[in-house]
Structure 1
């Protein structure tokens, strides 16, 4: 009974973490020089060989900054930092070769000869642990209490940085919406002003008295100045929209592969991602973090419910010849869903999840929040599935010109 209670507690924490990460809309593939600098500071202060800044979703550790080596995404349960995340407090392992939790890890028994570990959790202002910072060394290391305090302070700074960065993204989205509204208002103003100018030009100067000629010329010049101002403002609004955040088709494809290939390879599932767009086309409808979150959640679910040698296929293109909408199709050959399961997902009202083909746990939160993000950006989705025959998610969202 106690074990069951512990498992339920862990699932609750993991669900909160997934929800918090969705709210933060992090792009875990993005290079952040601030985080890199803080990671270098960690190794300098502690004298360790390696340092990491890690983010965890439901199943994977993503190293978003590091010093000493590059670290690919790893299964959460095959990492040292998973124990810091579970503890939600500082964790020190003075000799990893003597610790039952990690002594058989390949990095401990192999050439890396890792011996010392110290980690601190990244805890948000909502008191949710979303990741860790850690230092790793290949020999004995004595970390003073002052050094541990510095590691804790760096962890706090990293969390505040991520939250502030997210707030900046949120504010930029509001600015973009205001720019879009301004552009529409300015565009709509041109028609009545042009009509006024046209009407004034039809008045024959010879048919009005001298008293009104000067008034007519003033009205014509004022209208001309106003239309010039409207045109100039519209051009500025268009330029401002073009400078907003974007992700290219080729970058989107590469990032999705780098994030989810490990998950697919670990299950021996084939993952294929293609983009029919021009490689350098800028997608600006959603931020890179939102877009990767939306598509990535569907890829992760497709892999989760697929078995060895089955194919997960992702196609990024246009909905039709008009090219006014993007279309992303995520198809798998996995277990499929029944009508009730499809309705549960489509409603966006409640979480729905079942265990994967390798008994992977899930919460349904990530997919639900990803689809909610899609609909908030005027996107839509369709689900086609049958039990035992796989599932196809088709996502549509507007293309901004």
Structure 2
């Protein structure tokens, strides 16, 4: 007889690996996005008439609620989420009663606080056709979303993607300030076009608000306009800087780590996952060169997938150890990272598949679905970094991932 876990194996989009690559290209720090999207989650809840609204991004292992209204942003295993079904298609996804759906009725968010019953979500689709996650609205009671409100929620989802693109563009600008002078006209057009369009749509919605009988939305539309205009002003400010001046702005420190700040960020992002599974997560570093800065470029995408994988395949009361070091070799700085767990181990043929870029999936502990795509993504990113990835493992004992990445200030 098939178990419930087997009957409802977590679904994977057909374009999953390409989707994960595009998400990694945004190089997002999931813990620092709330300020950029809080107004949109409040607007979505007001439009839908629900108690809760969340913006969720889904990587290989985890659903990250990067902003929320009515409920604090959280992280959960991807296979526990409803949004994993929303990102499978192009259209809104609705579950009218989570308590009556065999896939969700035993989930903690249904059985325990906040005792959710209703779900409606829409994928956050990029221009390349990949769903990075979902905007969802939820409630403790059954609800119904009218066609008019669906259209407004679609506009909000489009604004979320536009802001993600803006953040990505701004980070790219800060990482390449010396090239802005010759490229600033093209970048300015790329930024101003979509944001200006969103502001125009917001104005149309405001003008027709009475006809739609959604007067309560108008004040929040003003917030969208205000936020959009401030983003335009910020873009103009960056693009009009004199980058050949001796007083040109320095690289934003948020785009850099050192060993100490990287250790802190790992705890911030992944201690919750470890605690939920009652696993000890420890991060150790060699203090030598600990304060030397290096670019954050995709480090969280690489280390995050390795740490999430280790947590997933380590049994309760196990341990995941992360070691960080920065060394000099061949006139380069090298970031040396090891991630070790005392979990299930990896068969040699699986290691061979990962190191050769082959995509596969396996089962985690306690019946979890493994996302082998996450480790394949790590290999892809390490290769693009011109780094090295080594894997050692013994079945039933441990797995050890060794990463060497060239980094420069």
Q: Please give the TM-score of this superposition, normalised by the length of structure 2.
A: 0.69
Structure 1 residues 283 and 32, CA, compared in 2 at 3 Å: closer, same or farther? Answer: farther
* SS of residue in 1 equivalent to 2:153: helix
1:355 aligns with 2:339: no
Which residue pairs with 1:41 in the alignment? 43
1:293 aligns with 2:295: no
Counterpart CA distance in 2 for 1:111 and 1:239 is 47
| Equivalent of 1:281 in 291, 300, 304 | 291
Counterpart CA distance in 2 for 1:143 and 1:345 is 44
1:55 aligns with 2:63: no
* SS of residue in 2 equivalent to 1:12: coil
Structure 1 residues 106 and 383, CA, compared in 2 at 3 Å: closer, same or farther? Answer: closer
Query: Higher Cα Rg: structure 1 or 2?
Result: 1
Which residue pairs with 2:382 in the alignment? 374
| Equivalent of 2:262 in 239, 245, 252 | 252
Q: Are the aligned partners of 1:315 and 1:328 in contact in 2 as well (CA < 8 Å)?
A: yes
Residue 140 of structure 1: how far off its partner (Å) = 5.1
Range with bigger deviation, 314-323 or 149-158: 314-323
Range with bigger deviation, 275-284 or 35-44: 275-284
Which residue pairs with 2:355 in the alignment? 346
Deviation readout 1:333-369 (Å, 9 max, x if unpaired): 234345554444334x433554334454445433333
Residue 131 of structure 1: how far off its partner (Å) = 1.1
Counterpart CA distance in 1 for 2:284 and 2:35 is 30
Counterpart CA distance in 2 for 1:342 and 1:140 is 47
* SS of residue in 1 equivalent to 2:32: coil
Which residue pairs with 2:131 in the alignment? 129
Deviation readout 1:62-115 (Å, 9 max, x if unpaired): 101111221320123333433433454213344544555544544445453434
* SS of residue in 2 equivalent to 1:161: helix
Which residue pairs with 1:331 in the alignment? 340
Which residue pairs with 1:151 in the alignment? 153
* SS of residue in 1 equivalent to 2:94: strand
Range with bigger deviation, 6-15 or 292-301: 6-15
Counterpart CA distance in 2 for 1:10 and 1:373 is 21
Structure 1 residues 20 and 97, CA, compared in 2 at 3 Å: closer, same or farther? Answer: same
Deviation readout 1:171-209 (Å, 9 max, x if unpaired): 544547999xxxxxxxxxxxxxxxxxxxxxxxxxxxxxx
Residue 42 of structure 1: how far off its partner (Å) = 1.4
Range with bigger deviation, 239-248 or 372-381: 239-248
Deviation readout 1:311-336 (Å, 9 max, x if unpaired): 21001223379994332221122343
Structure 1 residues 36 and 105, CA, compared in 2 at 3 Å: closer, same or farther? Answer: same
* SS of residue in 2 equivalent to 1:166: helix
Counterpart CA distance in 1 for 2:24 and 2:50 is 32
Residue 151 of structure 1: how far off its partner (Å) = 0.6
Structure 2 residue runs of 5 or longer lacking an equivalent are 1-5, 182-242
* SS of residue in 2 equivalent to 1:118: strand
Counterpart CA distance in 2 for 1:83 and 1:34 is 25
| Equivalent of 1:270 in 276, 280, 290 | 280
Q: Where does 1:1-400 land on structure 2 (aligned, <5 Å)?
A: 10=12, 12-86=14-88, 88-110=90-112, 112-139=114-141, 141-175=143-177, 236=246, 240=250, 245-277=255-287, 281=291, 283-287=293-297, 290-319=298-327, 324-337=333-346, 340-347=349-356, 349-351=357-359, 353-400=361-408
Residue 147 of structure 1: how far off its partner (Å) = 1.7
Counterpart CA distance in 2 for 1:142 and 1:357 is 38
Deviation readout 1:151-173 (Å, 9 max, x if unpaired): 11111221232234334434544
Q: Are the aligned partners of 2:320 and 2:341 in contact in 1 as well (CA < 8 Å)?
A: yes
Structure 1 residues 369 and 171, CA, compared in 2 at 3 Å: closer, same or farther? Answer: farther
Q: Please give the TM-score of this superposition, normalised by the length of structure 1.
A: 0.70
Residue 146 of structure 1: how far off its partner (Å) = 1.7
Structure 1 residue runs of 5 or longer lacking an equivalent are 180-232
Range with bigger deviation, 9-18 or 127-136: 9-18
Q: Are the aligned partners of 2:61 and 2:374 in contact in 1 as well (CA < 8 Å)?
A: no
Deviation readout 1:31-64 (Å, 9 max, x if unpaired): 3433122112212333322110001123321101
Residue 132 of structure 1: how far off its partner (Å) = 0.9
Q: Are the aligned partners of 2:27 and 2:301 in contact in 1 as well (CA < 8 Å)?
A: yes
Q: Are the aligned partners of 2:61 and 2:309 in contact in 1 as well (CA < 8 Å)?
A: no
* SS of residue in 2 equivalent to 1:39: helix
* SS of residue in 2 equivalent to 1:119: strand
